[in-house]
């Protein structure tokens, strides 16, 4: 049990005074009542550090006063753990402090119970729940962020394992979420606190280099701040100028991204100029650019093109003293308020009234815009990828030929631009012009470029576009279109496979038979059955057996694949090498792997050359001489004529040879021929040779060859 510590907790009078500083009309009695209620509920509870537990809710409330938030949010902070950790109930909180506070406390409790650092699929589902909670009232996440910030500030009292878990969760989820909400100061502090846990040596190395740099160059911040004030005074601009060194994690990330050492890294100092009006912002920019040389490509005007969270500012990077690059942000006081508190500015108070900040965004519209594109994501991993991408993204602004502005994340391509305009435009995209010049679709767009999309009737999304697109909206639309196209292709292929499988037992694959099979296999309908058959989720044997179990081939007497190889030690497992796909009847040899058992290769596999100098890993093996089931896959490469019915006839021929198609992939489509890879399940090498002879004899098959890999290329080759 930890030692009990006597810790100075913020007194209720001091907390109320913090609120009164920005909201003189605060309901002090209600805050005091919440303070007393929370303290009573947490009586006898202690943190891992030994401090009374109630010091934590009070500290969270104090953090929220820095953002000048309303009474309901401050009271929620004081009570945010009562429903979860004490005898207090939702009804009790609602009765004493109103339904608004009870709803907020309940929302924070539900967020706390989400295990956001778990497996990817579950993490994605938790992100969905997190966004749902945020969409009801964004103040829930403001309290949760402040809760996480205080926990990270006091993380040393946790066990090392718990510290790592919380730090990763903070770096992956809470820090980028704070940044996405416009609370940059909180993002930076959360990142740095997590960095302190995840990579203490890296953080210390950055701090040591800073100390060395200061020793060599003196107080750069003080000198440059003075120079800027002098230039602005000369131009007659009233301004406040602040400078600071960037946080250790921010510098570390730049070093990793740019693959540069600390000494070569530029703009490690940041300066902020706060002026009275928007006009003064541009005047200050002119004065700074007159005095220092601007760095090309580092200018961003978020005043004329604000971020979705309401952020407005001018960013520029200039070469300062001794050629050192420094970043300068120029904004008005109102813009600065939004830059500091982000979406939270909607609830902030000044002098007792809600701050009427024209730059504060409506939280409901903001969260709706953030979640809209994720609602359509069916796949959890796709959803998580889109969420993380959206939260980390910066923006570029491009123009349509008519002069309209299209906002995109940094790194976006013409494909992203096309889908941002309309899904129909994205699907039909065949090319793009940037500033009048034709460019590849993988081109990264830059601020201020004019983009024109070239479309064509009949064009459909390509699989390669998934590697090009960066926005969640584009990737979602492409995946959905590809899934629909694949489904139709699988249904057509499944129909041919079903026909071949039923003909093999002397029956026809009628709609009634397929409906019966779908019902017995508990599938929605025959289209679903055919799609699964075409995508190799079902086999023809499965479908036939569902309708005619008495006619389906019986493979019960065949040798189990688990005991098909002779020469292994008792209990030793094996797997077939994917490079040569050895079949029963071929001469084989085994290569031992630590923790993996034995990998079986054909004796003529070129990959075996890698193990010539390791004879102790070789095992002499041979196949069991009995009858094997058709369970061993081999890959054939076929070139066939592009005529009606050819593919169906090939599938029928394969079925007649009692081989099952487990996968089929078109690798080349031409007007007169198809080249495709067919994975077939076979009994042995004799069946393979018989099948290949039958295929070669077909007049519409130009070539058929077995596909294997070589040690030289480590890629596929035909042998």
Cα–Cα–Cα angle for 677, 459, 526, nearest 5°? 60
Distance CA 647, CA 624 (A): 35
591, two tokens: 């290569």
| Mean pLDDT to the nearest integer, 56-67 | 90
Which of 85, 385, 452, 542 is catalytic? The answer is 85
Distance CA 515, CA 524 (A): 9
Distance CA 465, CA 149 (A): 39
Q: In whole numbers, what is the pLDDT of the chain averaged over residues?
A: 80
Q: What are phi and psi of 48, to 5 degrees?
A: -60, -25
Secondary structure of residue 295 in the 3-state scheme: coil
DSSP 227-240: HHHHHHHHTT--EE
Query: 195-233 pLDDT, tens per residue?
Result: 899 888 888 887 887 777 777 666 778 888 888 999 999
Helix (H) or strand (E) holding 632: strand 632-641
Classified by CATH at the fold level, domain 559-719 comes out as Alpha-Beta Plaits (3.30.70)
Distance CA 214, CA 222 (A): 11
Look at strands 451-455 and 300-301 and give their pairing: unpaired
Q: What are phi and psi of 22, to 5 degrees?
A: -115, -15
Q: What pLDDT does 389 receive?
A: 47
Distance CA 315, CA 272 (A): 9
Residue 587 DSSP symbol: -
Distance CA 459, CA 472 (A): 21
Query: 493-520 pLDDT, tens per residue?
Result: 888 888 888 887 788 889 999 999 988 8
Distance CA 177, CA 68 (A): 20
Please, what is the end-to-end C-alpha distance for the chain in angstroms? 70
Distance CA 59, CA 15 (A): 9
Q: Where residue 712 falls among pLDDT bands split at 50, 70, 90?
A: very low
Q: How far is CA 269 from CA 153, 243, 257, 335, in A?
A: 24, 7, 17, 21
Domain spans of the chain, in order of start = 12-198, 202-354, 393-470, 480-547, 559-719
Q: What pLDDT does 121 receive?
A: 41
- Is 85 a known active-site residue? yes
Which of 29, 51, 66, 84 is catalytic? The answer is 84
Query: 424-474 pLDDT, tens per residue?
Result: 999 999 999 998 889 899 888 887 788 999 998 888 888 888 888 888 788
Q: How far is CA 111 from CA 62, 81, 104, in A?
A: 20, 11, 11
Whether the domain at 12-198 and the domain at 393-470 fall into the same CATH topology? no
Q: Where residue 715 falls among pLDDT bands split at 50, 70, 90?
A: very low
Secondary structure of residue 680 in the 3-state scheme: strand
Q: What pLDDT does 611 receive?
A: 83
237, two tokens: 């601009």
- Residue 679's CB: how many other CB atoms inside 10 A? 17
> Quick one: what percent of the chain has pLDDT higher than 90?
19
- Residue 666's CB: how many other CB atoms inside 10 A? 11
Q: Where residue 61 falls among pLDDT bands split at 50, 70, 90?
A: very high
Distance CA 255, CA 349 (A): 39
- Residue 115's CB: how many other CB atoms inside 10 A? 11
Classified by CATH at the fold level, domain 393-470 comes out as Ubiquitin-like (UB roll) (3.10.20)
- Residue 161's CB: how many other CB atoms inside 10 A? 8
Secondary structure of residue 705 in the 3-state scheme: strand
- 3-state SS track over 428-470: CEEEEEECCEEECCCCCCCCCCEEEEEECCCCCCCCCHHHHCC
Distance CA 503, CA 540 (A): 11
Query: 369-398 pLDDT, tens per residue?
Result: 555 545 544 444 555 555 554 444 456 778
Burial of 8 (C-beta count, 10 Å sphere; 0-12/13-18/19+): exposed
> Under CATH, domain 12-198 is a member of which superfamily?
Hypothetical protein af1432 (1.10.3210.10)
> Under CATH, domain 202-354 is a member of which superfamily?
Beta Polymerase, domain 2 (3.30.460.10)
Cα–Cα–Cα angle for 658, 663, 664, nearest 5°? 105
Q: What pLDDT does 532 receive?
A: 81
* Cβ atoms of residues 605 and 577 within 8 Å: yes
* Nearest Cα residue to 138 out of 177, 184, 170: 177
Q: What pLDDT does 395 receive?
A: 64
Distance CA 682, CA 658 (A): 8
**Number of residues written out for the chain:** 719
Question: Within 199-277, where are the H helices?
Answer: 200-217, 220-234, 248-258
Look at residue 152 and tell me whether its pLDDT is greater than 90.
yes
Query: Which residue would you say has higher pLDDT here, 115 or 678?
Result: 678
Say which residues have a Cβ less than 8 Å from residue 186's Cβ, sequence separation at least 6.
145, 149, 178
Say which residues have a Cβ less than 8 Å from residue 237's Cβ, sequence separation at least 6.
275, 280, 283, 284, 287
pTM over 0.85: no
């Amino acid at each position: 049990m930890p030692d009990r510590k006597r810790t100075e907790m913020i007194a209720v009078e001091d907390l109320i005074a913090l609120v009164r500083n920005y909201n003189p009309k605060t309901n002090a009695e209600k805050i005091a009542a919440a303070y007393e209620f929370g303290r009573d509920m947490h009586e006898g509870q202690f943190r891992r550090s030994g401090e009374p537990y109630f010091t934590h809710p009070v500290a969270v409330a104090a953090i929220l006063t820095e953002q000048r938030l309303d009474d309901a949010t401050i009271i929620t902070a004081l009570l945010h753990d009562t429903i979860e950790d004490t005898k207090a109930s939702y009804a009790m909180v609602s009765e004493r402090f109103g339904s608004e506070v009870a709803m907020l406390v309940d929302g924070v409790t539900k967020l706390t119970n989400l295990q956001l650092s778990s497996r990817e699929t579950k993490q994605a589902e938790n992100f969905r729940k997190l966004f749902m909670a945020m969409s009801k009232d964004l103040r829930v996440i403001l309290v949760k962020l402040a809760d996480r910030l205080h926990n990270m500030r006091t993380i040393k009292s946790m066990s090392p394992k718990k510290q790592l878990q919380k730090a990763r969760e903070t770096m992956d989820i809470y820090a980028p979420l704070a940044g996405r909400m416009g609370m940059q100061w909180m993002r930076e502090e959360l990142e740095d606190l997590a960095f302190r846990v995840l990579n203490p040596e890296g953080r210390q190395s950055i701090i040591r280099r800073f100390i060395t740099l200061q020793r060599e160059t003196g107080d750069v911040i003080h000198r440059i701040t003075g120079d800027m004030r002098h230039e602005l005074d000369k131009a007659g601009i009233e301004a406040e100028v602040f400078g600071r060194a960037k946080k250790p994690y921010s510098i570390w990330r730049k070093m990793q991204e740019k693959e540069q050492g600390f000494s070569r890294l530029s703009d490690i100092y940041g300066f902020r100029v706060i002026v009275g009006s928007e006009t003064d912002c541009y005047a200050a920019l002119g004065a700074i650019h007159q005095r220092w040389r601007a760095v090309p490509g580092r200018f961003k005007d978020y005043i004329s093109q604000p971020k979705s969270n309401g952020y407005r500012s001018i960013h520029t990077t200039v070469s300062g003293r001794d050629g050192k690059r420094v970043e300068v942000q120029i904004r008005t006081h109102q813009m600065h308020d939004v830059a500091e508190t982000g979406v939270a500015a909607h609830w902030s108070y000044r002098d007792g009234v809600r701050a009427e900040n024209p730059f504060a965004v409506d939280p409901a519209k903001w969260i709706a815009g953030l979640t809209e594109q994720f609602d359509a994501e069916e796949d959890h991993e796709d959803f998580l990828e889109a969420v993380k991408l959206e939260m980390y993204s910066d923006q570029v602004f491009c123009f349509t030929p008519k002069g309209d502005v299209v906002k995109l994340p940094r790194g976006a391509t013409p494909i992203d631009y096309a889908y941002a305009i309309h899904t129909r435009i994205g699907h039909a995209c065949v090319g793009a012009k940037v500033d009048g010049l034709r460019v590849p679709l993988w081109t990264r767009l830059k601020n201020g470029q004019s983009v024109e999309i070239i479309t064509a009737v009949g064009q459909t999304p390509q699989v390669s576009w998934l590697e090009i697109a960066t926005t969640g909206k584009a990737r979602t639309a492409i995946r959905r279109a590809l899934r629909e196209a694949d489904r139709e292709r699988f249904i057509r292929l499944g129909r041919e496979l079903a026909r071949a499988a039923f003909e093999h037992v002397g029956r026809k694959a009628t709609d009634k038979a397929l409906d019966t099979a779908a019902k017995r296999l508990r599938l929605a309908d025959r289209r679903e059955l055919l799609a699964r058959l075409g995508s190799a989720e079902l086999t023809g044997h499965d479908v036939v057996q569902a309708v005619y179990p008495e006619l389906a081939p019986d493979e019960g007497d065949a040798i189990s694949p688990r005991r098909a190889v002779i020469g292994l030690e008792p209990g030793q497992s094996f797997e077939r090498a994917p490079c040569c796909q050895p079949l029963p009847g071929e001469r084989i040899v085994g290569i031992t792997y630590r923790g993996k058992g034995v990998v079986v290769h054909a004796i003529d596999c070129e990959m075996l050359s890698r193990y010539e100098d390791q004879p102790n890993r070789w095992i002499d093996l041979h196949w069991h001489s009995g009858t094997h089931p058709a369970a061993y896959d081999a890959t054939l490469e076929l070139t066939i004529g592009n005529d009606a019915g050819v593919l169906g006839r090939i599938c029928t021929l394969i079925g007649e040879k009692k081989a099952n198609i487990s996968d089929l992939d078109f690798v080349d489509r031409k007007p007169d021929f198809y080249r495709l890879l067919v994975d077939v399940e076979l009994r042995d090498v004799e069946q393979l040779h018989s099948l290949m002879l039958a295929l070669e004899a077909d007049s519409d098959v130009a070539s058929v060859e077995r596909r294997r890999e070589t040690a030289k290329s480590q890629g596929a080759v035909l042998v």
